[in-house]
């Protein structure tokens, strides 16, 4: 099992109230694919530096740290590619957790 970090940019156009539901759906997808969600860091809505489409000028950023097999990332990419609630997603290897000083 490896630790991964997934940075999700959620499509919030007209759906600001449904962000919590979308985060819960993403957690459920990761768990159903065989992963184990460790932390969810809700960030804020940020404007994009470059706007490719006038319809999407900003997005809500959410960071997930989870464990899973290497095959999990390909499955998750496939599941989230056509999801209209998710604008972009980036998966990277997460650093090992720092030990807590006693």
Give Cα 37 distance to the centre of its chain.
11
The verdict on residue 77 lying in a domain is yes
The verdict on residue 6 lying in a domain is yes
The verdict on residue 30 lying in a domain is yes
Contact present, 37 and 5 (Cβ < 8 Å) = no
Contact present, 53 and 74 (Cβ < 8 Å) = no
Distances in Å between the Cα of 94 and the Cα atoms of 12, 39, 42, 86, 90 are 26, 12, 17, 21, 12
Q: Where are the alpha helices (DSSP H) in 4-102?
A: 19-32, 71-81
The verdict on residue 28 lying in a domain is yes
Model confidence over 43-102: pLDDT tens digits? 988 888 887 767 778 889 999 999 999 999 999 999 998 888 898 999 999 988 788 776
Quote the domain boundaries for residue 30.
2-50+59-93
What is the dihedral sign for C-alpha 4, 10, 16, 21?
A: negative
pTM score, whole prediction: 0.86
The verdict on residue 102 lying in a domain is no
User: Which strand (E) or helix (H) includes residue 37?
Assistant: strand 36-47
The CATH number that applies at residue 84 is 3.30.70.60
The verdict on residue 31 lying in a domain is yes
Q: Please count the structural domains in the chain.
A: 1
Model confidence over 77-89: pLDDT tens digits? 999 988 888 989 9
The verdict on residue 86 lying in a domain is yes
The verdict on residue 80 lying in a domain is yes
């Amino acid at each position: 099992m490896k630790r991964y970090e997934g940075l999700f940019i959620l499509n919030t156009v007209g759906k600001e109230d449904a962000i919590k539901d979308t985060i819960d759906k993403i957690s459920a997808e990761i768990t159903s694919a065989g992963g184990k969600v460790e932390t969810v860091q809700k960030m804020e809505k940020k404007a994009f530096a470059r706007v490719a489409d006038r319809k999407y000028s900003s997005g809500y950023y959410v960071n997930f740290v989870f464990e899973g097999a290497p095959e999990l990332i390909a499955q998750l990419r496939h599941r989230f590619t056509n999801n209209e609630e998710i604008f972009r997603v980036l998966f990277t290897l997460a650093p090992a957790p720092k030990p807590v000083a006693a």
